[in-house]
Amino acid sequence: MPVTASATTLRREERREAIVRTAKEIFFAEGYAATSMATIAARVGGSKGTLYNYFTSKEELFEAVVQDFLERNSIVFSKLNVAEGDVDAALASFGGQILRLMLSDDAIAMYRLIAGESGRFPEIGATYYEAVMRRGKQRLVERFAAAMDAGRIRRSDPAIAAQHFVDLCLSGLHRRRLWNIGPAPSEAEIDANIDQAVRAFLDGYRVK
């Protein structure tokens, strides 16, 4: 029975996803410098030549790993709506999702990888910043700007407001997790951290 073009495309996409998934595991475990295309090919199963049919370089493969991380978590950035409803509740819900995402094993491993290796390989820092930090922040800026236009929070620079809010949400717990100090934060600690972040943010940005 002949193989259809759609079936071939599906198998190729599944193979690509398997390569990206495996590469992520190796990058996180071994670091960027110590990871080779040969190592990834051996773990996936197949020749290095086959791997190069999907990705022309280790840098391109790392870009795919970062992009996959962004796509899997981009829904979080689309959920903030401070332009209507209860401002406190909207910020608390969104802040909790952001903090839980940034405390996840994958996010912590990615952050450690970028921080540890971008000094020698600035291209991976640039890749992460462009795909995750800049694009993610832009989505937040648009939502904070909408909230300001609706008169829900004080008019100011929406980019600075977005940065202030995210930094307040991550304050304390993220660094503790990043540096592997003690056990992972409990749900109660996360909720308390977000409650404090929302109150501190609105102390400065609530419409008087």
User: Could you report the per-residue pLDDT of 12-58, keeping only the tens digit for each?
Assistant: 888 999 999 999 999 999 999 999 999 999 998 878 888 999 999 99
The pLDDT of residue 5 is: 63
The pLDDT of residue 201 is: 96
The pLDDT of residue 130 is: 83
User: Which residue numbers in the chain have pLDDT < 50?
Assistant: 1
The pLDDT of residue 2 is: 55
**End-to-end alpha-carbon separation of the chain, Å?**
71
Please check whether residue 83 is in contact with residue 149, taking contact to mean a CB–CB distance below 8 angstroms: yes
The pLDDT of residue 3 is: 54
Distance CA(141)–CA(163), nearest Å, equals 9
